[in-house]
């Protein structure tokens, strides 16, 4: 009984700060300390949000953002997992890539955005490149750490039983390193979400980030909050979706939770 | 064991050199207007660092970054440590943090600028917001993993709850807190550059986009090199400090991962 109610109680406690913030927002908006042009009432913002979810133009912008996000994330997963496996698989590749990663990982990737604009243009390609640059490092590091931690005896047994190196990689090493790889992918997914929005804010003609900047230029404060709430919801949805996929993939792993 | 001796530093230097050589060759082969060879961009670096106005801009950026970072750590560490020790506090904050996490902090810039103006206050607040989350998360993880028996022993010896938090939980969670601070430090730099790119008034991000608008591509790339070097240097300096402070703890991750 207690085990059943504990998550419910936690959810109730957890909803308190969010409700408090919305209540405080409502009070400030109603009291007239802040004019509606600076802080629109929460009711107005959420009505506008629902209204926008029914608007094709808005959904089109959201779809553009999502398209860039997934393109960048997918490339980052392929590149990151491949390089990560290569780093553990071969001492030479590891020795070549590790210092590069050490130098590049703490560099603020957003600073590279002007370089991407200059070489790849103002369109989708530069934004996707920025997402890849930001998302690839967590995946790469998680993969190399995950594959390095695989029990070597597992691989030896598979090789001794006559499996080829490729088959051993695909059926033994990658599945064993999967929990770690997925953790890296989850961090990368949220990062992609943030980066694509920022890139659209800096230079873009479409997407959710552009909508925020356009609203800010026109002092439409209600429309400034709507893309922000949308990106937060998208992040939560993507995270929940990813967790569902992760639970399916990791069914039977002891560390899955 | 991986970080003893000059080998990693040497390897990093070789990696840098290799990057520049690859860039030089690539640019000379590709012959795109927007990609000057590395040598031309590097030649611009002293010009930027010798320009008093640019230095003033970079200095102002760094000051905001340090203030935002310090405030962020000062707020986040107590919150994270308390969350780790009390299930109710954790349940109270967790959903809120989950909602805030995917929102790009620099994207709040236009909204915050409406309230606080375009000055230092908005930019510092955005940096503060960017730093807080990873530091809270890591402090929370560290404080949750503290051995319960140590706390019971201290309580049995008459130590009060706040004293236990400061004298036992804080030192025990220090490696995790510092790992969070490392992520937070790089995040502070990223948020700083991004907020300046969005609110183009002063700072490094502004130099970057002004020179982009004026088609001074060498300056664009030189600024990118400076920001990149700044990121690497801050991270290396912090790692050195961390090695001093918590030499007794295993380094969790030799390389920084997962920052935006």
Interface test with B, best of A35, A73, A107 (most B CBs within 10 A): A107
Q: Given a cut of 50, is residue A225 above it in pLDDT?
A: yes
What are the domain boundaries of chain A? 57-247
- Tens digits of per-residue pLDDT, B136-192? 988 998 888 888 888 888 888 888 888 888 888 888 888 888 888 888 888 888 888
The candidate with the shortest Cα–Cα distance to A131, out of B111, B10, B260, B200, is B260
Return the ∠ at Cα A216 (arms to A212 and A218), rounded to 5°. 120
CB contact under 8 A, A111 and B193: yes
In this prediction the pTM is 0.83
- Tens digits of per-residue pLDDT, A172-182? 888 888 888 99
Tell which A residues from 182 to 211 touch B, by Cβ distance under 8 Å: 184, 187-188, 190-191, 193-195, 197-198, 201-202, 209
Q: Given a cut of 50, is residue A11 above it in pLDDT?
A: yes
Q: What is the pLDDT of residue A254?
A: 65
Q: What is the pLDDT of residue B76?
A: 92
Q: Given a cut of 50, is residue B1 above it in pLDDT?
A: no
What is the CATH architecture assignment of A57-247? Orthogonal Bundle (1.10)
Mean pLDDT of B25-36: 80
Task: Tell me if chain B has a CB within 8 Å of the CB of A28.
Answer: no
Tell which A residues from 102 to 141 touch B, by Cβ distance under 8 Å: 102-115, 117-119, 134, 137-138, 141
List, as one string, the DSSP characters of B54-103. Answer: HHHHHHHHHHHHHHHHHHHHHHHHHHHHHHHH-HHHHHHHHHHHHHHTTS
Task: Tell me if chain A has a CB within 8 Å of the CB of B159.
Answer: no
Q: What is the pLDDT of residue A73?
A: 94
The candidate with the shortest Cα–Cα distance to A80, out of A145, A141, A171, A147, is A141
Q: What is the pLDDT of residue B249?
A: 66
Q: Given a cut of 50, is residue B258 above it in pLDDT?
A: no
Q: What is the pLDDT of residue A29?
A: 80
Residue that is written with structure tokens 């039983």 in the block: A161
Mean of pLDDT over chain A: 85
Two tokens, residue A222:
């209600």
Residues of B with Cβ-Cβ distance to A232 under 8 angstroms: 99-100, 102-103
CATH topology of domain B42-245: MetI-like fold (1.10.3720)
CB contact under 8 A, A193 and B257: no
What are the domain boundaries of chain B? 42-245
Q: Given a cut of 80, is residue A207 above it in pLDDT?
A: yes
């Amino acid at each position: 009984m207690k085990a059943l109610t504990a998550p419910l109680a936690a959810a109730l406690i957890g909803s308190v700060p969010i409700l408090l913030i919305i209540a405080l927002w409502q009070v400030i908006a109603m009291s007239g300390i802040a004019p509606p042009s600076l802080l629109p009432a929460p009711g107005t913002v959420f009505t506008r949000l629902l209204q926008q979810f029914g608007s094709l133009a808005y959904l089109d912008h959201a779809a553009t953002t999502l398209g860039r996000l997934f393109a960048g994330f997918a490339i980052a997963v392929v590149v990151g997992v491949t390089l990560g496996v290569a780093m553990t698989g071969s001492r030479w590749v590891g020795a070549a890539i590790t210092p590069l990663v050490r130098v590049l990982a703490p560099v603020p990737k957003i600073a590279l955005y002007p370089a991407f604009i200059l070489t790849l243009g103002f369109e989708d390609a530069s934004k996707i490149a920025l997402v890849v640059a930001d998302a690839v490092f967590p995946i790469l590091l998680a993969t190399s750490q995950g594959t390095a931690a695989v029990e070597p005896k597992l691989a030896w047994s598979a090789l001794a039983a006559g499996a080829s190196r490729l088959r051993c990689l695909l059926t033994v090493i990658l599945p064993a390193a999967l929990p770690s790889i997925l953790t890296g992918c989850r961090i990368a997914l949220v990062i992609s979400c943030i980066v694509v929005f920022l890139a659209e804010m800096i230079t873009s003609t479409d997407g959710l980030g552009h909508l925020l900047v356009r609203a800010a230029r026109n002092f439409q404060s209600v429309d400034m909050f709507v893309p922000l709430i949308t990106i937060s919801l998208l992040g939560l949805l993507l995270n929940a979706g990813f967790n569902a996929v992760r639970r399916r993939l990791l069914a039977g792993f002891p560390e899955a939770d | 064991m991986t970080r003893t001796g000059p080998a990693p530093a040497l390897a990093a230097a070789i990696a840098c050199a290799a990057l520049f050589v690859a860039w030089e060759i690539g640019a000379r082969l590709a012959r795109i207007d927007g990609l000057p060879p590395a040598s031309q961009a590097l030649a611009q670096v002293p010009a930027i660092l010798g320009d008093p106005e640019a230095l003033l801009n970079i200095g102002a950026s760094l000051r905001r970054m340090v203030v935002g970072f310090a405030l962020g750590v000062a707020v986040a560490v107590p919150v994270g440590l308390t969350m780790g020790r009390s299930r109710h506090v954790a349940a109270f904050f967790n959903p809120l943090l989950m909602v805030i996490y995917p929102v790009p902090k620099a994207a709040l810039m236009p909204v915050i600028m409406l309230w606080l103006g375009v000055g230092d206050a908005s930019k510092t607040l955005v940096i503060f917001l960017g730093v807080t989350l990873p530091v809270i998360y890591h402090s929370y993880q560290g404080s949750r993993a503290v051995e319960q028996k140590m706390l019971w022993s201290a309580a049995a010896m008459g130590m009060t709850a706040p004293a236990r938090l400061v004298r036992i939980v804080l030192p025990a969670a220090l490696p995790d807190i510092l790992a969070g601070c490392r992520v937070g430090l790089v995040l502070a730099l990223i948020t700083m550059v991004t907020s300046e790119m969005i609110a183009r008034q002063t700072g490094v991000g502004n130099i970057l986009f002004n020179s982009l608008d004026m088609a001074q591509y060498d300056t664009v790339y030189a600024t990118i090199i400076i920001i990149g070097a700044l990121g690497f240097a801050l991270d290396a300096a912090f790692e050195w400090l961390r090695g001093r402070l918590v030499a007794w703890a295993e380094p969790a991750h030799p390389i920084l991962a997962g920052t935006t």
